[in-house]
Amino acid sequence: MSVFNQSRSTVIRLIVAGVFLIIVAQLVNLQLFSSKYEALAFNNAVYPKVRYPDRGIIYDRKGKAILNNTIMFDLEVTPSQIKGVDTGFLCKLVEIDTAEFKKRIITAILKNGRYRPSIFEDLLTPEMHARLEENIYKFPGFALVERPVRVYPFKAAAHIMGYIGEADSGNIKRSNGFYRLGDYVGKTGLESFYERVLMGKRGVEYLIKDNKNRLVGKYENGIYDTAAVAGRNLHTYIDIELQQLAEKLMQGKVGAVVAIEPKTGGILSMVSGPNFDPNMLTGPNKQQNFNKLFLDVSSPLLNRAIKGQYPPGSTFKPLGALVALDEGIITPSFGIGCGGAYYGCSRPVKCTHSNAGHAANLRLAIANSCNSYFTHIYRLSVDAGKYKGVKNGYQKWKEYMNAFDLGVRVGVDLPSEDRGNIPDSSVYNKVYRNSWNSCTNLTLGIGQDMMLATPLQLANSMCIIANKGYYYTPHFVKNIEDETPADSIMNPFRTKHEPLTGISDDAYEAVISGMQDVVEIGTARMAKLPNINVCAKTGTAENYRVIEGKRTKLKDNSVFVCFAPREDPKIAIAVIVENAGYGGTWAGPIAALMMEKFLNDTLRTERLKEVERIAASNLMPGYLIREQYKADSTRAYNWFKMTKDSSAIKRFLRRDFKKDSLQQNQNSPLPVRDIRTTWHRPEAIVPEQYSFTHPVTA
Amino acid sequence: MHTSNTSKGIDWLLVGLYMILCVIGVISIFGATYKEGDPILQSFTSFKTDYSKQLIFWILAMIIAIFIMVTDSKFFTATANLWYAFGIVLLLLVFPFHTEIKGTRSIIRFGSFQLQPADLCKVFVALALAKYLSRVETDFSKTRSQLIATAIALTPAILSILQQETGLALVYFSFFLVMFREGLPAGILIIGFSFAVLVVATLLMEPNTLAMILTGIALAAIYILRRQIKRRKQILVTIVGIWMVCVGIQRFLVPYVFESVLQPYQVKRIYDTIGKDYVPTGGTVVLEETTTKKKDDGGDYNVKQSKIAIGSGGFAGKGLLKGTQTRYDFVPEQRTDFIFCTIGEGFGFVGSFILMAVYFLLLMRIITVAERQRSVFSRAYAYGVASVLFFHIAINICMTIGLAPVIGIPLPFISYGGTSLITFTAALFILIRLDADRQMVLR
């Protein structure tokens, strides 16, 4: 019988061979042609732990660290190891209730699993850390973990330094995969502008994890690990003591101060008011603090030094003179007779002086701030015969302005700078339907009409005059530690700009002498300093704002520009205080104190009283109270509509709010002295879009 | 006298292949379970780790093998039925004395020692079947003999299913290969194969589509055979009959088996293999194409991790103890049922291919040995061993590479486990003993 079925052994052999062939084919498929499995296995078992480098430190001109790193503590929890923890006691220490405790544990398990530590409470306050440290041994599964945090030891320069925050989806997308979720990235200020320098290089440690996500050791003994490279430090021109003084002086005021070293373009100080302590946006409660600042209608987060746009007013006059001189239209001896107004066009432009000879030459015109003189030379400049028509002439004049960095971004090393406004002739064409001439916009000559400039631009224009024709783009950073030619970020700040070529030294001397006269005998006498020749120009710009649907004239903006000493300028300053009256009243004294502090390195004792007087003055515009009330109650109402939660809106009901708060409150007693504690307002609810626009004066 | 006779005629190639496989086994278990920092030599001799235990099992298996080698081959023919009876008694004893472990009720425990009679019975069935087929009075061309042979093979399978050990029960179906070799009509195998295809098709296709296809095939057959049908109406009846049976299987039998006979986890594993989601319903089996891969539990996770392990081995592998999948317990049961992952990840395609080649050589050699036997008993027994080994190897490896549902059966000679190693060793060495004595007897 066996003989008959012999062939069947071959069949069986073929069946075996067939099945083995299928298996080998699948092995070829899996092992030779599918590349995904290697990556899958790697992802399964290897956990790349990012080692964060220390961010770079920022120093001031004297080598003091003004932005440094410190260590704070997070409380971490490994859910699988919590056994026999006295939750009540722990909750008491962390100041939460047991329901919140449970919620956090569940969140931790969902986020990282039971076997891996997750953050339970981040950035403990020093008190909470101390309390926990003593008792941590009682809480198995909980651990205190160090975490580097940015700290601002001088509590100053918030707007300059900026702050860091976790990278958002926009940061991650824009960085082409460089940033990952959980990374910290500079959000504003120098932190943002020099992000790549400050952040250093991340290191990666490859760790092995097992099937329960426990980390069990190093992958391949760490041969693929890379060390973290600390971020490089920045050395700046900032004088932190000057900065602190300026911030103190700007307390309770809306406005900005910019001080620049003319020879280098290095910014010595930059303040925007209202101001805040930069430490609010780092460490514990940073989110609550941010919300508070964000919802404040006085916009403390806004850097008005680069984003506030103001009509420069009379402070523009010296620049107008420079244009006319460079064009060869006037000489320093050029003069006009002004009888109290300019009558060259149908609409007269008033002048504060009417005595004969107050505009007999350039120096006198500047010293007396003659409106007629400067509207006249503006008209002469744009109507010059060689340009064949006002439109070309104006365009040429605009080019001058742009060369002074007016109407364009200066290019300071801070993000989101505004450009101010020097309108293109096309704008006038549109507004006046092509029929306009030098009479239409003649107040450009005295820094009004559509002209807007940022305080930084004004300070820079002072540098041009102080330097007699050149400037460096204003910037904060003197050098990067271990700088290499690859740091091209620094190149724009080392290029000399020379917008004026055709002006003789004598002509400059006339302008500068005029400005010195302003201090000696004119409107800026409060800025006079012993043994130092100060050159300055005051400005007072009309200030309108739409309030309650009506265009309302508010108290003038106080503008002041200056530089000193005349012979060897070391500091140029622009100060704007909104809603504060004459340039000489508030902006001038602030600039004077700053010059004295910087040039003499100290203030005379009798001047300290002046510092206290200015610091204690509240010039916050009164309408802000009403605006804050409106913003908060509207938000509370929307919140109520959305959630039916009436707790926020309650306080706004049945309240008799007086609309008379438009009155100035600067001489009233000061209930809110420190701007860092902001206005009376209810809890922050949902962030609301707001924008800062400044009115255009006519 | 005995010693000289004992070593004579031994097929050393089989012994050699066996040794190679056992060594691969111990190394693989070492690779899968060695923990960083353990002193290797001490661990191997401490008998506490799995690889040292496997070494002991191997030594034990070798001692049993030596006993088998010094036993007269007539002993096995004489006692074949006795062993079978012993096996059935053991299987029956399981019902009152089992310990439930991992959902199976097929294990008897004596202290720390576990015995799974359903596993052991494979050898006894091979012996008994060979004995029955070799009887002079058996005429295997008769249906009655075929039914008896089937009963011998499948009785342990039925008992095994009753003990909720479906995986091992399936192994007994491999004895049909033996019967096929000994004259079971090829038609039965073809019908069996067609049945399997039909079941898989039922799982994969919409019920109505499949019914239409079946009807189409039936109509095509009628059209092609229309001349013959004119002469013999019987053909038409047969075709219609087959069609009805097929539709019946597809419409009623498969859903019934899936709903009522198989355990839910088994159904899920089958669906996992063909890449469908299993949605338990009251009436019919509902199939849904896997659209959103949810977090998988159970069988699919094992297979996925196992495929990752084998796939990530690449051409040359990551090296022993370097495989992250197996080192850090991503593959469950990796020292027993999923031991092939350790080889696939550690030694890559090269290692896997060499292992497959060794197995192939072993099976081919056993068939060669079988064909040179002069006794039906030896030949049938040899085929029995080959069939069981083949089934184990094919199903085990196919399940690790995602070609078969996850059935918990070990990889012969390599998976960790005493019973399995000793059973296969005994089965193989009985064959070697019989083969060594092939010239002496004519049965």
Domain span including residue A161: 49-235
Nearest CA-CA distance, residue A111 and chain B, Å: 16
Q: What is the dihedral of CA A241, A247, A250, A255, to 10 degrees?
A: 110
Nearest CA-CA distance, residue B244 and chain A, Å: 30
Question: Which pLDDT value is given to residue B274?
Answer: 64
Strands in A164-218 per DSSP E: 164-166, 184-186, 203-209, 215-218
Q: A551 forms bridges with which residues in the sheet?
A: A546
- Is A677 among the domain residues? no
Could you give the CA distance from residue B389 to residue A452 in angstroms, rounded to a whole number?
91
> Which residue, B289, B322, B352, sits at the end of a domain?
B289
The closest CB to that of B312, out of A6, A11, A38, belongs to A38
Triad B162, B165, B170: Cα angle to 5°: 100
Number of domains in chain A: 2
A67: confidence class by pLDDT, cuts 50, 70, 90: very high
Beta carbons of A31 and B349 less than 8 Å apart: yes
Contact residues of A toward B, CB < 8 A: 1-2, 4-6, 8-9, 11-13, 15-17, 19-20, 22-24, 26-28, 30-32, 34, 36-38, 40-42, 44-46, 208-211, 216-217
> Which residue, B246, B273, B289, sits at the end of a domain?
B289
> Which residue, A183, A208, A235, sits at the end of a domain?
A235
Question: Which pLDDT value is given to residue B385?
Answer: 96
Residues B168, B104 share a domain: yes
Beta carbons of A16 and B314 less than 8 Å apart: no
- Is A658 among the domain residues? no
Q: B108 forms bridges with which residues in the sheet?
A: B98, B115
Residues A311, A171 share a domain: no
Residues A566, A426 share a domain: yes
- Is A40 among the domain residues? no
- B79 CB-near residues (< 8 Å, 6+ apart): none
- Is A240 among the domain residues? no
Residues B360, B251 share a domain: no
Written as six digits, the tokens of A441 are 């916009």
Given a contact cutoff of 8 angstroms between Cβ atoms, the answer to whether A531 and A548 are in contact is no
Question: Which pLDDT value is given to residue A680?
Answer: 35
Give the least confident one: A240-254, A405-419, B215-229: B215-229
Residues B371, B266 share a domain: no
Which CATH number belongs to the domain containing residue A327 in this structure? 3.40.710.10
- Is A171 among the domain residues? yes
Residues B261, B388 share a domain: no
More confident residue, B4 or A271: A271
Residues B172, B150 share a domain: yes
- A20 CB-near residues (< 8 Å, 6+ apart): B356, B359, B360, B394
Nearest Cα to Cα of residue B210 among B255, B246, B253, B259: B246
Helix (H, G, I), strand (E, B) or coil at B103: coil
- Is B19 among the domain residues? yes
Residues A566, A449 share a domain: yes
The closest CB to that of B311, out of A12, A37, A45, belongs to A37
- B196 CB-near residues (< 8 Å, 6+ apart): none
Q: Report the length, in residues, of chain A.
A: 698
Nearest CA-CA distance, residue B313 and chain A, Å: 6
Nearest Cα to Cα of residue A561 among A369, A266, A315: A315
Interface predicted TM-score of the whole assembly (ipTM), two decimals: 0.87
Using the structure block, give the residue that is written with the tokens 């001189």.
A325
- Is B443 among the domain residues? no
The closest CB to that of A2, out of B349, B360, B376, belongs to B376
- Is B47 among the domain residues? yes
Residues B353, B226 share a domain: no
Residues B347, B218 share a domain: no
> Which residue, B260, B289, B318, sits at the end of a domain?
B289
The sign of the torsion formed by the CA atoms of B226, B232, B235, B240 equals positive
Could you give the CA distance from residue A587 to residue A633 in angstroms, rounded to a whole number?
34
Residues B267, B336 share a domain: no
Residue A696, pLDDT > 80, answer: no
Substitution target in B365, B401, B411, B443 with the highest count of A β-carbons within 10 Å is B401
> Which residue, A210, A235, A260, sits at the end of a domain?
A235
Which CATH number belongs to the domain containing residue A55 in this structure? 3.90.1310.10
What's the mean pLDDT in A263-289?
A: 90
Residue A266, pLDDT > 90, answer: yes
Question: Which pLDDT value is given to residue A49?
Answer: 78
Number of domains in chain B: 2
- Is A387 among the domain residues? yes
How many CB contacts within 8 angstroms connect chain A with chain B?
Answer: 124
Provide the residue type at B77 as one letter. T
Could you give the CA distance from residue B88 to residue A440 in angstroms, rounded to a whole number?
115
Residues B18, B139 share a domain: yes
Q: Could you read off the pLDDT of B348-404 as tens digits, one per residue? A: 999 999 999 999 999 999 999 999 998 899 999 999 999 999 999 999 999 899 888
- Is B442 among the domain residues? no
- Is A657 among the domain residues? no
Given a contact cutoff of 8 angstroms between Cβ atoms, the answer to whether A9 and B367 are in contact is yes
Could you give the CA distance from residue B127 to residue B178 in angstroms, rounded to a whole number?
12
- Which percentage of chain A shows pLDDT scores above 70? 93
Written as six digits, the tokens of B76 are 């096995």
For B219-232, the three-class secondary structure string (H helix, E strand, C coil) is HHHHHHCHHHHHHC
Substitution target in A30, A208, A209, A213 with the highest count of B β-carbons within 10 Å is A30
> Which residue, A615, A636, A658, sits at the end of a domain?
A615
Residues A327, A221 share a domain: no
Question: Which pLDDT value is given to residue A693?
Answer: 37
Domain span including residue B95: 2-184+295-436
Residues B373, B264 share a domain: no
Strands in B282-403 per DSSP E: 286-289
Residues A548, A403 share a domain: yes
Helix (H, G, I), strand (E, B) or coil at A470: coil
Mean model confidence pLDDT for chain A: 85
Chain A hits for B185, Cβ within 8 Å: none
Chain B hits for A37, Cβ within 8 Å: 307-308, 310-312
Residues B274, B314 share a domain: no
Residues B270, B140 share a domain: no
Given a contact cutoff of 8 angstroms between Cβ atoms, the answer to whether A471 and A497 are in contact is yes
- Which percentage of chain A shows pLDDT scores above 90? 39
A366: confidence class by pLDDT, cuts 50, 70, 90: very high
Residue A657, pLDDT > 80, answer: no
- B106 CB-near residues (< 8 Å, 6+ apart): B94, B98, B116, B117, B118, B160, B163, B164, B165, B168
Residue A688, pLDDT > 50, answer: no
Using the structure block, give the residue that is written with the tokens 């399936």.
B170
Instruction: Locate all alpha helices (DSSP H) within A261-370, ordered by sequence.
Output: 286-295, 304-307, 317-326, 362-368
Residues A330, A228 share a domain: no
pLDDT tens track, chain B, 443 positions: 444 566 778 899 999 999 999 999 999 998 888 877 777 777 777 777 888 889 999 999 999 999 999 998 889 999 999 999 999 999 999 888 887 776 677 888 877 777 888 888 999 999 999 999 998 888 888 889 989 999 999 999 999 888 878 788 889 999 999 998 888 888 888 888 888 778 877 776 777 888 888 888 888 988 888 888 888 888 888 888 888 888 888 888 887 887 777 777 777 777 776 666 655 544 344 444 333 333 344 457 788 888 888 988 889 888 888 877 877 778 877 888 899 999 999 999 999 999 999 999 999 999 999 999 988 999 999 999 999 999 999 999 998 998 888 888 899 999 998 888 999 999 999 999 999 988 775 54
- Is A663 among the domain residues? no
Nearest Cα to Cα of residue A150 among A160, A164, A138, A140: A164
Q: Is B324 on the interface with A (CB under 8 A)?
A: yes
The sign of the torsion formed by the CA atoms of A412, A413, A418, A419 equals positive
Chain A hits for B180, Cβ within 8 Å: 8, 11-12
Q: Could you read off the pLDDT of A116-128 as tens digits, one per residue? A: 778 888 888 888 8
Residues A199, A121 share a domain: yes
Residues A322, A177 share a domain: no
The closest CB to that of B349, out of A11, A32, A41, belongs to A32
Provide the residue type at A138 as one letter. K
- Is B126 among the domain residues? yes
Substitution target in A3, A21, A23 with the highest count of B β-carbons within 10 Å is A23
Nearest Cα to Cα of residue A391 among A429, A418, A446, A360: A429
Give the least confident one: A79-83, A410-414, B41-45, B218-222: B41-45
pTM above 0.80, yes or no: no
